[in-house]
């Protein structure tokens, strides 16, 4: 397949060449989470010419996203556009020939096979360990590489996981660190540039994977220090006792672990996810909820006892003005259903 004229300089980059760029054009990459990391990675992959992108995010655009999340506008924040929809729209304007699929959804054990079907690499743009461990389980089980990324404060981490070849995420982080010991964007803030740097490292690893240059993938954990400056690569090896890639345990994929409620990073909000995705009639829901504020094809928003609730067609809800999962569950049961 001839490469497209717009990619001429990438073709001239000898490590890729015509052959690498042709593979990129035929590739399918999924980006899970379209926040600070995912929006930058998705844009980089689209501009690099990845032929098919699946764009997954459960959330909608807010004004506080705009300093880092490069594809979104003030209008998206005013409209509360789902990030997956806004990303698809922005990328289509950048390259109308790409095949783009937006998924306004939470990655869950029940949906991950359908949502990631056909992807040759998955880029992590999430902000939580339970989704990353689910991705790690799925990747090992299906033999599809994924690229971990995380950023908080002024630094970040990135690492490609190649199933059957080197360490997986649980070799490095065997268990989720206790929330009270984990710095988050909520507690430590985040420098808008560092997430971009980490996301571009992730996108670069994904491009190596789908262009047939797995040999060039960075082996180890890359640490990006934006504020202090510098990038380091920590040697990372397979843990001979790793529960996931050595012992073959898949608790997150089987749904034995992982939460149905999650406190959202930096949002003072809790997300409630039903055990299996629902198909809600949002029009009917809009008529029965109190203080309806917004009704779009994707979501409704209403005020429940001073808490803003955003309810999606798949039954997920984001309950604002609380980080207490019990409060959020109670409101969900009261206004959406049990």
Among 19-27, 63-71, 242-250, 330-338, which window interacts with Zn ion (CB under 5 A)?
A: 242-250
Residue 168 found at the interface with Zn ion (CB under 5 A): yes
* Closer CB to Zn ion, 21 or 139, in the complex: 139
In the list 50, 194, 226, 242, the residue contacting Zn ion (rule: CB under 5 A) is: 242
* Nearest alpha-carbon partner for 124 in 141, 114, 138: 138
Residue 236 found at the interface with Zn ion (CB under 5 A): no
Contacts of 139 (CB under 8 A, 6+ apart): 122, 145, 146, 161, 163, 168
In the list 100, 158, 162, 171, the residue contacting Zn ion (rule: CB under 5 A) is: 171
Residue 194 found at the interface with Zn ion (CB under 5 A): no
* Nearest alpha-carbon partner for 253 in 152, 90, 142, 124: 142
**Using an 8 Å Cβ cutoff, are 213 and 27 in contact?**
no
Our CA angle for 29, 31, 35, nearest 5°, is 155
Q: Which residue(s) pair with 299 in the sheet?
A: 312
Return d(Cα 74, Cα 84) in angstroms, integer: 16
* Closer CB to Zn ion, 16 or 245, in the complex: 245
* Closer CB to Zn ion, 101 or 238, in the complex: 238
* Closer CB to Zn ion, 171 or 201, in the complex: 171
In the list 29, 245, 319, 336, the residue contacting Zn ion (rule: CB under 5 A) is: 245
Give the DSSP letter of residue 245. T
Residue 135 found at the interface with Zn ion (CB under 5 A): no
Contacts of 215 (CB under 8 A, 6+ apart): none
- In the complex, minimum distance from the CB of residue 171 to Zn ion, in angstroms, rounded to a whole number: 4
Residue 41 found at the interface with Zn ion (CB under 5 A): no
Which positions lie near Zn ion, rule CB under 5 A? 168, 170-171, 242, 244-245
């Amino acid at each position: 397949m001839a490469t497209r004229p717009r990619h001429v300089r990438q073709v001239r980059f000898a490590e890729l060449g015509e052959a690498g760029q042709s593979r990129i054009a035929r590739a399918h990459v999924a980006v899970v989470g379209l926040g600070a990391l995912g929006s930058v990675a998705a844009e980089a992959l689209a501009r690099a010419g990845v032929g098919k992108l699946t764009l997954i995010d459960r959330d909608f655009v807010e004004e506080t996203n705009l300093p880092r999340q490069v594809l979104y506008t003030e209008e998206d924040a005013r409209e509360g556009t789902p990030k997956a929809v806004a990303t698809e729209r922005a990328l289509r304007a950048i390259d109308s020939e790409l095949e783009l699929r937006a998924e306004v959804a939470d990655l869950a054990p029940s949906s991950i096979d359908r949502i990631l079907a056909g992807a040759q690499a998955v880029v992590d743009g999430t902000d939580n360990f339970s989704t990353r461990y689910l991705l790690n389980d799925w990747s090992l089980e299906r033999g599809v590489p994924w690229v971990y990324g995380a950023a908080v404060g002024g630094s970040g981490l990135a690492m490609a996981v190649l199933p059957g070849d080197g360490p997986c995420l649980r070799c490095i982080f065997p268990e989720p660190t206790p929330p009270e010991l984990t710095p988050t964007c909520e507690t430590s803030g985040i420098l808008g540039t560092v997430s971009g740097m980490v996301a571009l490292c992730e996108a670069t690893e994904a491009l190596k994977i789908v262009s047939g240059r797995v040999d060039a993938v960075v082996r180890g954990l890359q640490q990006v220090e934006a504020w202090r400056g510098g990038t380091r690569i920590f040697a990372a090896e397979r843990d001979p006792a790793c529960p996931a890639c050595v012992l073959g345990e898949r608790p997150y994929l089987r749904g034995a672990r992982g939460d149905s409620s999650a406190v959202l990073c930096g949002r003072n909000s809790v997300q409630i996810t039903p055990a299996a995705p629902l198909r809600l009639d949002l029009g009917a829901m809009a008529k029965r909820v109190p203080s309806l504020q917004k009704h779009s094809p994707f979501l409704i928003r209403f005020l429940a006892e001073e808490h803003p609730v955003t309810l999606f067609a798949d039954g997920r809800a984001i309950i604002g003005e609380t980080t207490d999962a019990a409060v959020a569950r109670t409101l969900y049961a009261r206004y959406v259903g049990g």
